[in-house]
Amino acid sequence: MQPPSLWWTTLERPVTARPALDQHLDVDVAIVGGGFTGLWTARELLRRDPDLRVCVLEKNVCGFGASGRNGGWASALFPLGDEALLERCGRVRFIALRRLLQRSVVELGECARDDGIDAHYLRGGTLTFARTAAQAQRLRASVTWAHENGLADDDVTWLGEHEARERASVSRSLGATYTPHCARINPARLVRGLSDVDERLGVAIFENTAVTRILPGRDGASAQVVTVGATVHADYVVRATEGFTPTLPRQRRTVVPLYSLMIATEPLTASFWEEVGFSHRETFADDRHLIIYGQRTHDDRIAFGGRGAPYHFASTVEPRFDENDTIFELLETTLRELLPPMTGAVTHRWGGPLAMTRDQMPYVLVDHATGLASAGGYTGDGVVLSRVAATALADLITSPDTETEFTALPFVQHRSKRWEPEPLRALGINAALSLASRADRSEQAGAVQSRAARLLARLLGPGT
């Protein structure tokens, strides 16, 4: 089974599921989840020690979750806002994290190239447009803040109205920020290619293998993964399940699954792109509160997505939530309003869950006593962050007594608070989504800062 996204239709051959696990297995490291986090972790472990016995257990096929469905931004973005991140970890660690993420955007492309993966990687940067007075005020202030706190004009810059229009013609643009630290990719091609690379390295990958329990090691016994068909014993078990984490026992409050939905157009004409721009294949957004994101694809479509789908009570994850006609129609309306010359048809619609922690910090956790490890909580910024997290996991597992650049990151061995119990969780999250939508409508009507935006900031905290 594969998700109905545009990205999967571009694969060079049909996806045939690898065999399921059907007998007991003893390994050094068992990884639950065949997305970016799990597959990068397997790759990094084998790069450090080719003799390690590593297996990946995937409920569907590798890349079935957010790794194969996302917006295709390989960015240096971090879920927690820069101001809050600086306050939490200090200037030195803040700058170190920013530089590492920026470098990792480039390194991801180099890794794909070296591994022979054609992921349609192209580093054109990101344009974030100001389309209301409030958005312009926020974006200009964010650039000023960044320059005052150690980032250079080369990292992020403000483009005036004329400069922005030279890059791309977006309706009602008052200017834009530009950062070079983002690449456009085809995520399905990357994640499926990565699974093939892991297999060549010696990783045992089992698809159509549903994990029902993960058990810690105790009293000298190994940690265990219990599947529908068999059990795996391992020195370490890595949970890399991201938006599907709440489907496992006792994990409903670890992260919340938020649904992000996408559409894609048919390939658009050369005359359209001459009029609209994006000649460097920049990814693009504007600064509304309810996030949107887009890219010009390898075959000249627009892949465009956004938030706004409701959170489902008790962190429920079900395939039927991958589609929401109201949100799909809103995305198409928004895209056509952003780019009025677009007359092409929308040909693909899809969605899926991403994972957000209570404090919006990702996590990399390794407990050497129990053999349990995990990583995730990327809140939609996981294409690059997953590789960074995987590198930290591999360092912690293979060299537990040595601090590295990656194990020193502020989200490594960071454990977020659990989410509130229901119904508080549903009330709070859906209230935040409603406030974000109200704030955007108010700002479009001319408000410099709406009451809804102030309430949203109070609800989410500073720097988010």
What percent of the chain has a predicted confidence (pLDDT) above 70?
Answer: 96
- Give residue 446's pLDDT band: very low, low, confident or very high (50, 70, 90): confident
241 and 380 both lie in a single domain:
yes
The CATH number covering residue 265 comes to 3.30.9.10
- Give residue 77's pLDDT band: very low, low, confident or very high (50, 70, 90): very high
For the chain, give the mean pLDDT.
95
28 and 169 both lie in a single domain:
no
316 and 208 both lie in a single domain:
no
Output the pLDDT for position 324: 96
Output the pLDDT for position 459: 55
- Give residue 463's pLDDT band: very low, low, confident or very high (50, 70, 90): very low
Which stretch of 200-214, 395-409, 449-463 has the lowest confidence by average pLDDT?
449-463
State how beta strands 25-32 and 231-239 pair. Answer: parallel
Q: Is the pLDDT of residue 460 over 70?
A: no
Judged by DSSP in three states, 398 sits in helix
Mean pLDDT of 360-372: 97
For the record, the structure tokens of 350 come out as 């899809």
pLDDT, tens digit (0-9, with 9 covering 90-100), for 35-58 = 999 999 999 999 999 999 999 999
The CATH number covering residue 245 comes to 3.50.50.60
- Give residue 260's pLDDT band: very low, low, confident or very high (50, 70, 90): very high
> Residue 434: which domain range?
420-464
Q: Is the pLDDT of residue 185 over 80?
A: yes
141 and 275 both lie in a single domain:
yes
282 and 250 both lie in a single domain:
no
For the record, the structure tokens of 227 come out as 């599947």
270 and 339 both lie in a single domain:
yes
95 and 174 both lie in a single domain:
yes
Q: Are 38 and 31 in contact (CB under 8 A)?
A: yes
Answer whether residue 19 is part of any domain. yes
Residue with tokens 């009293």: 219
Answer whether residue 51 is part of any domain. yes
Q: Are 134 and 449 in contact (CB under 8 A)?
A: yes
Q: Is the pLDDT of residue 455 over 80?
A: no
User: Mutual orientation of helices 82-114 and 133-148 as an angle, nearest 10°?
Assistant: 80
pLDDT, tens digit (0-9, with 9 covering 90-100), for 389-417 = 999 999 999 999 999 999 999 999 999 99
Answer whether residue 405 is part of any domain. no
Instruction: Give the amino acid at 7.
Output: W
157 and 98 both lie in a single domain:
yes
63 and 166 both lie in a single domain:
no
Mean pLDDT of 78-93: 95
117 and 171 both lie in a single domain:
yes
Output the pLDDT for position 464: 46
**φ, ψ (nearest 5 deg) of residue 327:** -70, -40
Number of domains, the chain: 3
Answer whether residue 149 is part of any domain. yes
Answer whether residue 118 is part of any domain. yes
265 and 382 both lie in a single domain:
no
Residue with tokens 């200009």: 140
Of 242, 193, 197, 206, give the one whose Cα is nearest residue 70: 242
148 and 274 both lie in a single domain:
yes
pLDDT, tens digit (0-9, with 9 covering 90-100), for 106-157 = 999 999 999 999 999 999 999 999 999 999 999 999 999 999 999 999 999 9
Answer whether residue 14 is part of any domain. yes
Answer whether residue 147 is part of any domain. yes
- Taking the model in full, what pTM does it have? 0.96
Question: How many other CB atoms sit within 10 Å of the CB of residue 141?
Answer: 11
pLDDT, tens digit (0-9, with 9 covering 90-100), for 283-323 = 999 999 999 999 999 999 999 999 999 999 999 999 999 99
Output the pLDDT for position 462: 44
Answer whether residue 192 is part of any domain. no
